[in-house]
């Protein structure tokens, strides 16, 4: 994080009553001036993003803060920023995007941007309201079940290998009975040993949590991701087809690439190599995972940070 600059003038929140209302909203709310420097940050914004008002006031989103991206990982803080566009033409905008959490992972949010005008009607800044777009209810219920059954990975908070094997067995049974197609993504963090060697295992564990949380947010409520072991993760994508598998895998890859953990030595970034495959009649859990694992190694051999579908 850069040294905190002098706070610029911008749209104020002077009224204590109105400020109290904003601070007690569940959604995040922040104001920016014409230069898109943040002048107000409510408690909801802190809850969703992890950043306190003291860490963001006077900064811009792209100053190693929220760094909004779309599903493909494209950075939106340049010419395609919804808030910048709104301040340019005065038209309200709403968009589903991903923000960068203080802990490094990506969080899906629904943003609504509006211009702020002075008494003469001139646009002097903008306001963005953002709400958490995660499917938290299903995730919380699943995690409670896993914890009770001792199927939770202690480092990442995801299901562990035993849980994944059980889940895959159930999905294979369903496919045999009802024809419900599903797929597996085998994901490996590229260069993870170098992270541990350079920064130590505490940072390595934080990187595992960052990637785990980003992947968890990037999946639908009915899909599952767990830690297979080491720096390997397995995601099970239900009711899908080759195009859906490819899109899901690419979303995970792009969002992982756009995640970053900030430590004293600077930003720690990693990428994912992913193997993606659909389950086939007659597959066992071992055969299915082995096939996805082999495709992941093809991604490694082809240069890493890519998806191989097979």
Residues 26, 31, 37, 43, Cα dihedral to 10°: -30
pLDDT tens by residue, 85-117: 999 999 999 999 999 999 999 999 999 999 999
Given a cut of 60, whether residue 10 has pLDDT beyond it is no
Task: Extract the tokens encoding 263.
Answer: 């430590």
**Which of 64, 85, 128, 231 is an active site residue?**
231
pLDDT band at 136 (very low <50, low <70, confident <90, very high): low
- CA torsion sign for 253, 242, 162, 297 is negative
pLDDT at 8: 41
Domains for the chain: give ranges and CATH numbers. 16-132 (3.30.450.20), 136-309 (3.30.70.270)
Lowest pLDDT segment from 54-63, 131-140, 192-201: 131-140
Cα–Cα distance measured from residue 229 to residue 24, given in angstroms and rounded to the nearest whole number: 41
Predicted confidence (pLDDT) at residue 301 exceeds the cutoff of 70: yes
Main-chain dihedrals φ then ψ at residue 307, nearest 5 degrees: -115, 135
- Is 101:16 a contact under the CB 8 Å cutoff? no
> Active site includes 250?
no
Which distant-in-sequence residues (6+ apart) come within 8 Å of 30 by Cβ? 38, 40, 41, 42, 45, 56, 127, 128
Q: What is the pLDDT of residue 22?
A: 80
Tell me how long the chain is.
310
User: Given this model, what pLDDT does residue 62 score?
Assistant: 78
d(CA 164, CA 229): 11
Enter the pTM of the model: 0.78
β-bridge partners, 75: 69
């Amino acid at each position: 994080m850069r040294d905190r600059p002098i706070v610029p003038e911008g749209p104020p929140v002077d009224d204590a009553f109105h400020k109290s209302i904003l601070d007690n909203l569940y959604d995040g709310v922040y104001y920016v001036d014409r230069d898109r420097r943040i002048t107000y940050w409510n408690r909801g914004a802190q809850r969703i993003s992890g950043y306190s008002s003291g860490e963001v006031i006077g900064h811009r989103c792209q100053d190693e803060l929220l760094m909004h991206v779309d599903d493909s990982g494209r950075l939106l803080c340049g010419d395609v920023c919804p808030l910048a566009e709104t301040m340019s033409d005065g038209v309200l905008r709403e968009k589903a995007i991903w923000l960068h959490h203080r802990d490094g992972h990506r969080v899906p949010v629904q943003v609504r941007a509006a211009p702020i005008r002075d008494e003469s009607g001139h646009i002097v800044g903008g306001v963005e309201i953002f709400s958490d777009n995660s499917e938290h209810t299903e995730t919380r219920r699943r995690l409670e079940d896993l914890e009770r059954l001792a199927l939770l990975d202690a480092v990442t908070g995801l299901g562990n290998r035993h849980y994944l094997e059980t889940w895959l067995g159930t999905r294979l049974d369903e496919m045999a009975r009802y024809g419900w197609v599903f797929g597996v993504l085998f994901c490996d963090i590229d260069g993870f040993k170098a992270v541990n060697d350079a920064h130590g295992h505490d940072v390595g564990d934080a990187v595992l949590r960052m990637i785990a949380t980003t992947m968890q947010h990037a999946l639908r409520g009915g899909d599952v991701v767990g830690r297979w072991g080491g720096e390997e993760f397995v995601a099970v994508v239900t009711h899908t087809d080759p195009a859906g598998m490819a899109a899901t895998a690419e979303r995970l890859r792009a969002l992982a690439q756009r995640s970053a953990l900030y430590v004293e030595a600077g930003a720690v970034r990693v990428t994912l190599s992913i193997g993606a495959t659909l389950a086939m009649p007659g597959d066992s859990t071992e055969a299915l995972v082995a096939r996805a694992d082999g495709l992941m190694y093809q991604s490694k051999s082809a240069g890493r940070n890519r998806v191989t579908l097979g």
